[in-house]
Amino acid sequence: MDFATLTDEQKSVLTAFTRDQFRPSVGSAARALNGLSTLLMLYKTSGVEALVATLSPGDPIPDSTGLAGAQSITAADVQSFMVAADGLLATYNTLELRTEYAKIAGFSNTV
């Protein structure tokens, strides 16, 4: 079966999904990966990674963001998240996938 053989209703449902949810969400995810990549680069190159490593794992780092509901974090929280971010980027931010994201959402919507 190909798209041309779908009923008008099926085409409408699929078109609405890809237009209104799928493509914009892929663009948002690609932009989020960009931000995460920048965060990881800053963590590794600005001295923050080494600084966090000097702290006791459970020592609280107070929140000063003003973000509603944000709480104190610990060095272990930061390290754990950054390890997870590195793995996420290694899996989902490859050149092949970035090319696919651009195909789906349009390059300008992925940066």
Report the predicted TM-score, pTM, of the whole model to 2 decimal places: 0.87
Evaluate whether residue 28 is within a structural domain. no
Evaluate whether residue 95 is within a structural domain. yes
Looking at the structure of the chain, the number of domains it has is 1
Evaluate whether residue 88 is within a structural domain. yes
Q: Give the model confidence (pLDDT) of 60-97 as tens digits.
A: 999 999 999 999 999 999 999 999 999 999 999 999 99
Overall size of the chain counted in residues: 111
Sign of CA dihedral 45, 33, 104, 110: negative
Alpha-helical runs (H) found in 1-111: 8-17, 23-45, 48-54, 75-92, 95-105
